[in-house]
């Protein structure tokens, strides 16, 4: 089936196979590797993107349901070589180790801060609850989101 969607501001038309996920469409068909492929079951959050402004695990969204949507990935956050403030905070706090969970964590953190620029620690934990990290123990990730919130104008 032919799928037409806008990803990070660029319109694409691509063939999607039956049962194919948005994640496969993004990574394999379009070559956009910001969303990571880890569990393919919506358990880890590595593939988190925005679909029409709402965060979603791209591995759970059937590609054909993405027809006509606007998708934003972590790649849409940086402006050229200038990182988004949340990305900068992750680097400064040492919240990036292997980097596999980072795209999903950053997307969820940006989504939270867009909705609540001054979240309390519980709100930060809730926003990141669907994202698994095997390297950092989460302390530095939580610190990064706090830093980004404090640095916001």
Going from N- to C-terminal start, the domains of the chain cover 2-74, 85-151
At the top level of CATH, which class does the domain 85-151 belong to? mainly alpha
Residue 136: pLDDT band by 50, 70, 90 thresholds?
Answer: confident
- What is the tens place of the pLDDT at every residue in 88-120? 999 999 999 888 899 999 999 999 999 999 999
Tokens of 119: 């979240």
- What is the tens place of the pLDDT at every residue in 6-48? 999 999 999 999 999 999 999 999 999 999 999 899 999 999 9
At residue 51, the pLDDT reads 98
Do residues 23 and 87 touch, judged by C-beta distance below 8 A? Answer: no
User: Is the torsion defined by CA of 129, 9, 96, 90 positive or negative?
Assistant: negative
At residue 128, the pLDDT reads 97
- Closest of 93, 106, 102 to residue 55, by C-alpha: 106
Q: Which fold has domain 2-74?
A: Ubiquitin-like (UB roll) (3.10.20)
């Amino acid at each position: 089936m032919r799928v037409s969607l806008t990803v990070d501001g660029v319109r694409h038309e691509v063939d999607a196979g039956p049962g194919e996920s948005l994640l496969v469409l993004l990574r394999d068909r379009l070559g956009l590797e910001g969303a990571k492929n880890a569990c393919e079951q919506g358990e880890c959050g590595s593939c988190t993107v925005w679909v029409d402004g709402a965060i979603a695990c791209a591995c759970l969204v059937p590609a054909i349901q993405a027809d006509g949507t606007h998708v934003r990935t972590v790649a849409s956050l940086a402006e050229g070589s200038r990182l988004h403030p949340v990305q900068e905070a992750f680097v400064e706090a040492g919240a990036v180790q292997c980097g596999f969970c980072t795209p999903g964590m950053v997307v969820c953190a940006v989504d939270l801060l867009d909705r609540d620029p001054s979240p309390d620690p519980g709100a930060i934990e809730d926003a990141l609850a669907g994202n698994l990290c095997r390297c950092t123990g989460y302390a530095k990730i939580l610190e990064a989101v706090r830093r980004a919130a404090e640095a916001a104008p």
